[in-house]
Structure 1
Amino acid sequence: MTNIIENNNSERNKTKYIIALSIILSAFHLYTASFGILPSYAQASIHWAIIATFIVFTRPSGFSFGGKLYDFTLVLITWYASYYLIHVQEELVTRVGLYTNFEIVLAIAAVIAALLIATRVVGKILPVICIIFILYSMFGSKISGMFNTQSFSISRIATYLYTSGDGLYGQTLNISARFIFLFVLFGAILDLTGAGNFYVDLAYSLTGRVSGGPAQAAITSSVLLGMINGSGAANVVTTGTFTIPLMKKVGYKPSIAGAVEAVASCGGQIMPPVMGAAAFLMSEITGIPYSKIILSALIPALLYYFTLAITVYIYAKEKGLKGMKSSELPKVGKVFKEGWMYLLPIVCLITILMRGYSPQKAAYFSIIIALLVGFVKKRDDMNVKNILGALMNAIKNIAPIASACILAGIIMSIINLTGLGIKISSILEFIAQGNLIIALILAMLTSLLLGMGLPTSASYLILAVLVGPALVNMGVSLMGAHLFILYFGALSTITPPVALSTFAAAGIAGSDIWETGIEALKLAVIGFIVPFIFAFSDLLLLEGNILDIIVAIITGFMGCTFIAVAIRGWFIKKLNVFTRFIVAGLSIFLIVPISIYVSLIVTLIICMVLAIGVKMKRA
């Protein structure tokens, strides 16, 4: 009995600490987003110190002997390293790389602590990659060939990782500290207010009557929620809990239901205006205005979701799946009348961003608007307990992202220290031998590989340094190159073997992981095609002659429709493999902006092939 009481007291104390950390982190970010602007290194240092403490509290080491002392030591090192960096940063600049022995030891300890703490929430893959990069910087001088680099001492590596603008507390962590947490908090507050339920109800009221309605609703609701939270897996868990069981109820196979939700949730990270915070990251790295990025990203994202919606519709027609009954669905007018205020935070966010204000300001005011809407709409639920719960959800959701960002800082700093980024870009160009298709395929594979197991934001940051320059050097526009790697970084969450979004969806659907993964790849096929298209032509990115852009958009949607037919293999009747193959191949020529005459001829041929295919099947 005594042990039970002690355990209960321990859990209560632990909860109090977590609540305190949640309040401190949220208050800190809301303050710095509005009034107390800090230098980037200070913002990132405090951000990580609070989150690292939360990680250690919630995921203790579990060592039977000395576990608490070990955890306390990691937290102490993290806090002191953060404090010391803030305290001496300006002095370090004047010293021009001269460090004391104490600073070298502290730098080594800070790097080790970051690796050990982050491993608890991101797994072992990324930390192992970081260690490989560190070992490369230490022993790269012993490698012959293109990967040869100069020799760096441990003290040089550690202090560079600790103090540089590319290191632990550098650009990547600063992006989490400046942008991402505020949008994670925004999403948590929106969920608290009941906006998530409104978006789901709105999606069902608009699309529920269509054949296979729950799947269309899953797509629509995932668009609305996924672009904010920046995590495909998190979006699956949020919306999939509602949509996957309903899809199964109306007749969807579990693997299909899971795949639809995974692909829809993954796409939220490429859908403007927020793009899971990727738009802000891209603007920071490329210098391209935010407004231009979201405008260029719009058509490719719409093509992605349009193809998914058409594919799901064809599947429903093929299987004879009906839409939901009117009695089972909320009325559009009623849903909008009761919940239109939930659109105000999103409208506020977009308006402030489009007027040229910083993402921090936009997120800050959108959070305030969301809270006000919550108090108006759900006054009883907007109590202290639930608000604290939202803050706790925010720190819980940012922990793996911030951890990935600080580890990404290790990788990016080693890349810059050794010049590895230039080497890899040169190798990609050398292997491609001037062939852009080969370069794009290599870039795709690299993006999918490095993106596995990483948040899209962290994946994009690394890929922007490693792969982006090579594509630009080979003639791809700056916008096209960075959207290319963003797309495949996002698609890595549904690409086996490490497909976090697919795994989450399969768990909810109760389906086989690999079967769900294969179905997800089929549904997301246009996501693997469109980036190659805008890498060759900027028309789909809304760059060029207005008439050519309009034609490219129209033919692009036509091509996506035929791609959907080829994927499902059904058009009035079941199509044979030969017909599907021809339709799929010809559809590419519609998505690729060649000329209006070519598009007309290809459309005519596809229609003839489909007519023959249907007639042969009937015979």
Structure 2
Amino acid sequence: MAIDRKARLERVLRTEEGGFLRCGGRIGRTVVSAIAVAWALFQLALPRFVLLDSITIRAIHLAFALVLVFLTIPFRKGTATSVGSSSRICAIACVLAALAALSSLYIVLDWRGISLRPGIPIWRDAVVAVALIVFVLEAARRVLGPALSVIALFFTLYAFSGPYLPLIFAFKGVSLTKYISQIALSTNGIYGIPLDVSANTIFLYVLLGALLAKLGAGQFFNDLAISLLGRFKGGAAKAAIVSSGLTGLVSGSSIANVVTTGTFTIPLMKKVGYPAKIAAATEVAASTNGQLMPPIMGAAAFIIAEYLGKPYIDVIKAAAIPAFVSYLALFYIVHLEASKLGMKGLPKEDIPRLSTVLAGGFYYLIPLVVLIAELVVLRHSPKLAAFNAILSIVALAFVVEVGRAVRTGSSVAVAAGRCGRTIVQGLIAGSRNMLTVALATAAAGIIVGIVAMGIGSMVAEIVEVLSAGNIFLLLLITAVASLVLGMGLPTTATYIVMASITVPVIIQGRSLAGETILIPAIAAHLFCFYFGILADDTPPVGLAAYTAAAIARSDPIATGIQGFLYDLRTAVIPFMFVFNAELLLYGVTSVPQAVLVFVMATLAAFAFGNATQGWFLVKNRWYELPLFLGASLILFYPALLTRLFHLDYGLRYGMYAVGLALYGLVYLMQRPRLRRIRDVDFAGPAR
């Protein structure tokens, strides 16, 4: 039964994270594996060895992705359409793959001709462009499901039918010539910024995570977390959070994070007494937030940097405080759950020795140190930093395997060959995991290109009308729309769609009083990014929740609801940093100022966790709820009081005292109740 469950989880991961390598014959598997390895090696060559123009890189990147999709993923799930399983199916798959690759590469093969006739495509251009759009939408449907393709088709229909719609939705429309020129024959559509970031940066980080996973870093992170935290109250759940956070550094995928860490941490949580639903929901909340963790955040973070024209390190800095506050708050929440359930630490025999864990896998931390040093200290570009980190992984893998062979007296050649096969498997896994991102960015590029043709201003106007110019309503609409879209889309696609529509409006948002609120662009982009991530555990279609429920054998909907309740502490943070940009270190000029903001934000998240969990020192009473919420709001956004009472803005940090006083008041109110409970427990039952 355990084997069946593990196999089912692997199928979930393959299906939802890109589906892959389901070839039915040896020749077919070899061919597809060779293409996957070639894709990975091509991407690895770009930072150091191969100099190509941007459009060529994007076209080749997309061609590889399309070929792998049509060779490995069937038209319908569950059908036997693998290469090698049928000569007829093999022929159809190969023809589709070849045509898709040619349509993707056409912009490179005839770039000179296309550039000499901008906006005036000839019949050959039109045929190839239409074919490319169809191939991209179909490949995206196979990899991601129908949602993104349907949305792209809806935007396309809107572009052509605009002149015939009611006044509020009316749009001047576009011609077929303009549409195909913009979407498939320029760098403003399919070959736009999202695909460029996918080709030049994201692939290397996905490959970095895949290599670490193949070499066993996931198990090391689990053991490290358990050895550090297992003995504390609720230690299994706390270890799950740390393990998921460490895995999230290199994963960037909620579902992969759940499968990697949850297969170990969820049974461990259940063993010490956590209900199945709580155990699964804790893993979901921790894994979902893995995409928030610097320095390797979700793929959309790299696109944010490109959209803003900022170095990626600036995005890391902006996202640092919210990410760490969110994880610390989850850590605090599981402590509250452990207190409510009367949990204790793990048995000593289940806790590995820290020295043993470090001795057996300390080298897994070296690539992360290299990566952070490259990004933060040396200030290298993200792709060069990832490239050097990957080189360090490969070198370490060979050193460790050969060193182990020398110590045990086994064959060095066999050890080197085994390590080489593991590296190749990592390259294949990296290509597999990239299918989701590559097709999401390409298909989302269709939407971005249509928005850039003038629809963006119309859609933005509709959104602004719906929000009545109220920034609070606008943010709520954006959050809800992101959660709904994210039920059927990966985070990257959700972010691209919502950012192209709502970011320009958010930046110009107004308050209830009608005064203009200046919202930094980074805050608006991260707002869309956060809610795209949270969709992974939003019922009824939270894929991460379904995966965790399969491990825990809990109800998926109940697991998703519980996980979303835990993630409320993450959902409130974007609303706060939109109004208080200091949470993103925007305008923060000193380390003490940054530390103060971080500490107060952490306490604010703790207070919010007390409110949502109904527990502090003891079970909360109804009249303590507003005190927690008030403390949380003030500690997150101290300038609120200076605005309300028309005080000097420079006094905002003094308002922290008010929030701390409210929090301390609840502590004083609950302290006597805790003392009485302890006295009863100490006295024991009446004789």
Please report the TM-score for the alignment, with normalisation by the length of structure 1.
Answer: 0.93
For residue 482 of structure 1, the aligned residue among 525, 531, 534 is 525
> Corresponding residue for 2:6?
none
Residues 270-309 of structure 1: CA deviation (Å, up to 9, x unaligned): 1111112433221111123322221121111111111111
Kindly indicate whether residue 302 of structure 2 is the aligned counterpart of residue 280 of structure 1: yes
> Corresponding residue for 2:97?
75
> Corresponding residue for 1:500?
543
Larger mean Cα displacement after TM superposition, 437-446 or 550-559? 550-559
| 1:148 shift after superposition | 1.7
* CA distance in 2: counterparts of 1:552 and 1:365, whole angstroms: 34
For residue 156 of structure 1, the aligned residue among 173, 178, 202 is 178
| 3-state SS of 1:33 partner | coil
* CA distance in 2: counterparts of 1:614 and 1:144, whole angstroms: 63
Give the partner amino acid of 1:573.
V
* CA distance in 2: counterparts of 1:253 and 1:131, whole angstroms: 44
Residue pair 1:539, 1:593 contacting (<8 A) in 2 also? no
Residues 290-345 of structure 1: CA deviation (Å, up to 9, x unaligned): 22221121111111111111110111122122111333212223322432222111
> Corresponding residue for 2:424?
388
| 3-state SS of 1:361 partner | helix
Residue pair 2:397, 2:419 contacting (<8 A) in 1 also? no
1:141-540 to structure 2, matched below 5 A, reads 141-354=163-376, 355-379=378-402, 380=415, 382-417=418-453, 419-474=454-509, 475-540=518-583
* CA distance in 2: counterparts of 1:334 and 1:394, whole angstroms: 30
Residue pair 2:486, 2:535 contacting (<8 A) in 1 also? yes
Residues 105-148 of structure 1: CA deviation (Å, up to 9, x unaligned): 11111111222222111111111111111111111221122432
> Corresponding residue for 1:33?
47
Residue pair 1:579, 1:610 contacting (<8 A) in 2 also? no
Shift of the 112–613 alpha-carbon distance from structure 1 to 2, 3 Å rule, reads farther
| 1:613 shift after superposition | 6.8
For residue 666 of structure 2, the aligned residue among 606, 613, 617 is 606
| 1:232 shift after superposition | 0.8
Residue pair 1:194, 1:374 contacting (<8 A) in 2 also? no
For residue 24 of structure 1, the aligned residue among 28, 31, 38 is 38
> Corresponding residue for 2:602?
557
Q: Percent identical across equivalent pairs?
A: 35
Larger mean Cα displacement after TM superposition, 362-371 or 569-578? 569-578
* CA distance in 2: counterparts of 1:120 and 1:225, whole angstroms: 27
Residue pair 1:48, 1:402 contacting (<8 A) in 2 also? yes
Residue pair 2:71, 2:94 contacting (<8 A) in 1 also? no
Larger mean Cα displacement after TM superposition, 450-459 or 314-323? 450-459
Give the partner amino acid of 1:591.
F
Larger mean Cα displacement after TM superposition, 277-286 or 578-587? 578-587
Gaps of 5+ in 2: 1-21, 403-414, 510-517, 640-654, 681-687
Shift of the 240–395 alpha-carbon distance from structure 1 to 2, 3 Å rule, reads same
| 3-state SS of 1:151 partner | coil
| 1:609 shift after superposition | 4.4
* CA distance in 2: counterparts of 1:42 and 1:145, whole angstroms: 42
* CA distance in 2: counterparts of 1:210 and 1:396, whole angstroms: 38
Residues 73-112 of structure 1: CA deviation (Å, up to 9, x unaligned): 3212212112321122233222222211111111111111
* CA distance in 2: counterparts of 1:435 and 1:483, whole angstroms: 19
Shift of the 605–311 alpha-carbon distance from structure 1 to 2, 3 Å rule, reads same
- CA-atom RMSD, angstroms? 2.4
* CA distance in 2: counterparts of 1:26 and 1:560, whole angstroms: 41
| 1:219 shift after superposition | 0.7
| 3-state SS of 1:389 partner | helix
Residue pair 1:297, 1:541 contacting (<8 A) in 2 also? yes
Gaps of 5+ in 1: 1-7
Give the partner amino acid of 1:569.
G
Aligned length, in residue pairs? 611
Give the partner amino acid of 2:523.
G
Shift of the 513–110 alpha-carbon distance from structure 1 to 2, 3 Å rule, reads same
Kindly indicate whether residue 104 of structure 2 is the aligned counterpart of residue 104 of structure 1: no
| 3-state SS of 1:135 partner | helix
| 3-state SS of 1:571 partner | coil
> Corresponding residue for 2:616?
571
Larger mean Cα displacement after TM superposition, 433-442 or 394-403? 433-442
* CA distance in 2: counterparts of 1:591 and 1:224, whole angstroms: 26
| 1:604 shift after superposition | 3.3
Give the partner amino acid of 1:26.
A
